[in-house]
Amino acid sequence: MDIRIQSVKFDADSKLLDFIDKKVGKLEKFYEDVINAEVVLSLLPDTENKDVKIKIALPGKDLFIQKNASTFEDAVVDCVDVLKGQLVKIKEKKRGQ
């Protein structure tokens, strides 16, 4: 799976980029047909100011999730947890057809 990471108005360090690659890359275990993932990191002016948007491209469908947290790592984990559930549902539905 191709993972593209974009940080808006700041430079993400390599530790954060590796963390995102590792977490988002695991989504492929739950649904094999994932084409790619786009991750956008940005800062917001409020207390939960780390914003993460993840778009997963599937054949014929895209999944999108956005979460805010006090750290980028927490927001990425929240996004991945939701996407994991959605991918499992899609896989089960596909298997049932």
Is pTM beyond 0.75? Reply is yes
Instruction: For 1-30, write each residue's pLDDT tens digit.
Output: 899 999 998 999 999 999 999 999 999 999
DSSP calls for the chain? -EEEEEESSS---HHHHHHHHHHHHGGGGT-TT--EEEEEEEE-SSSS-EEEEEEEEETTEEEEEEEEESSHHHHHHHHHHHHHHHHHHHHHHHHH-
- Whole-number average pLDDT of the chain: 94
User: Which domains does the chain carry?
Assistant: 2-96 (3.30.160.100)
